[in-house]
Amino acid sequence: MRVARVVQDSVVDGPGLRLTVFAQGCPHRCEGCHNPQTHDPGGGHETDAGAVFDMARANPLLSGVTLTGGEPFLQAGAFAGLARAVKTLGLTVWVYSGWTFEQLLERDDARPLLEACDVLADGPFIQSQKSYETLYRGSANQRLIDLPASLREGRAVLWE
């Protein structure tokens, strides 16, 4: 997988202490993006899921792993494998995407990653809706979606 970086102790990318993996490459290129260095698909560096898994396993204080970017769904297969491995540790997995849940359901390659994660923060960052009051999100249009419930019901169910 191609990543921009891995942050081993984040408290802003989901609840608790999290290991956050920043995917490299993003087609959305949202105005005002917090991580513009992740846009170029040729940037960052190659790593394998095993190395990231080992980082997660080595930290007994982690609550979970967050997959963000860039756009993790551009590398859905690799990130799905990582997410499934992380779940064996009893950790939660959150994933961020500039696509909405509904758009991701239309992508054949997205389903395995959706199924491997607990929460999806969806939708593009919209500069005019930027907010510091939206928990774990950058703009008010973005939703936190309970993925197991949403996939069961076939519609977006908000995480609470």
pLDDT tens profile 28-59: 999 989 899 999 999 999 999 999 999 999 99
Q: Is residue 85 part of a domain?
A: yes
How many domains would you assign to the chain? 1
Closest CA to 101 of 148, 43, 134: 148
Place of tokens 């419930």: 149
Share of the chain above pLDDT 90, in %: 97
In a domain, 160, yes or no: no
Q: What is the pLDDT of residue 34?
A: 86
d(CA 9, CA 95) in angstroms, rounded, equals 16
Q: Whole-model pTM?
A: 0.96
* CATH number of the domain enclosing 128: 3.20.20.70
- Domain range holding 62? 2-153
Please tell me the distance from the alpha carbon of residue 71 to that of residue 135, in angstroms, as a whole number: 20
Q: Which amino acid is at 146?
A: D
Tell me the H-state helices in the chain.
Answer: 49-57, 76-87, 101-105, 111-116, 147-153
Question: For residue 130, which phi and psi values (nearest 5 degrees)?
Answer: -55, 140
